[in-house]
Amino acid sequence: MRIYQAHDYNDLSRKAANIISAQIIMKPDAVLGLATGSSPVGTYQQLIEWYRKGDLDFCEAKSVNLDEYKGLGPEDEQSYSHFMHVHFFDHINIRPENTCIPNGLETDEEKECQRYNKVIASCGGIDLQLLGIGCNGHIGFNEPGIAFDKETHCVALSENTINANARFFASRDDVPKFAYSMGIKSIMQAKKILLIAAGENKAQALYQSICGPITPSVPASILQLHNNVTIIADEAALRIILKEHVILPGGHLK
């Protein structure tokens, strides 16, 4: 695990975008695992800027998203599909047929989870998975207590996550209670993982994920077992870690 401190959100976004663009430059047909939420918005903006300058080309790239609310379709402004179009896909030259997101409108959970597992497998696996982290340590919608061996599954969102995501909806009652999510097993099979975290409300989860025991109660703690994880976080998110450790220039903790 390599950990890098960003000066602020812009710096975090630029650093993350640099890693993603290096992936696309070195492997133009790379499979990117993508996330939604507030954390990656700046990263997507930076990638769009470099694409517009002509420095990046996504025409061969493929993407698979981590998750989608069950019950919401692409037309719904709160869906993750809509988010990806507004914040990223509509501004770059990725081919629509090369972007995959769980189908929130599929009511047959078993069918949708199997379909999505096949989508990931048929891409040949994920080259670089971008992750945010929930205040409770979730990655994707893999909530505390989740088994580490899951592939795509339908999740009951925790109270914590519903409260945290209520900010994107007119009211808390509008937040869907279920979501389709790539499982921890699928995330851990990605060749490289890039986790970004900004803000004080991520400090405890980040500390437990990096310095604590590996436990399903903190889903992101499983990343300690992956051999290629890069974490970029701002000072607020690193606050508790920095009380106990120093980050060495190579990204390791002392």
Where in the sequence numbering do the catalytic residues fall? Answer: 67, 136, 138, 143
DSSP state of 38: S
d(CA 5, CA 210): 14
Asked if 38 interacts with ligand F6R (CB under 6 A), we say yes
Residue of minimal Cβ distance to ligand F6R: 132
* The residue to which tokens 């379909």 are assigned: 115
Nearer to ligand F6R, 123 or 233 (CB): 233
Interface residue with ligand F6R among 4, 31, 67, 126 (CB under 6 A) is 67
Q: How many residues bind ligand F6R (CB under 6 A)?
A: 14
Applying the rule CB under 6 A, the residues between 75 and 134 that interact with ligand F6R are 132-134
Name the segment binding ligand F6R (CB under 6 A); options: 34-42, 97-105, 230-238, 244-252. 34-42
Asked if 139 interacts with ligand F6R (CB under 6 A), we say yes
Within the chain, strands assigned E span 2-6, 31-34, 62-65, 67-69, 99-100, 128-131, 153-156, 178-181, 192-197, 229-234
Asked if 152 interacts with ligand F6R (CB under 6 A), we say no
Least distance between ligand F6R and beta carbon 10 (Å): 16
Q: Under DSSP, is residue 142 helix (H, G, I), strand (E, B) or coil?
A: strand
**What strands, in cross-sheet order, belong to the sheet with 128-131?**
2-6, 229-234, 192-197, 128-131, 31-34, 62-65, 99-100
Binding site for ligand F6R (CB under 6 A): 35-39, 66-67, 132-134, 138-141
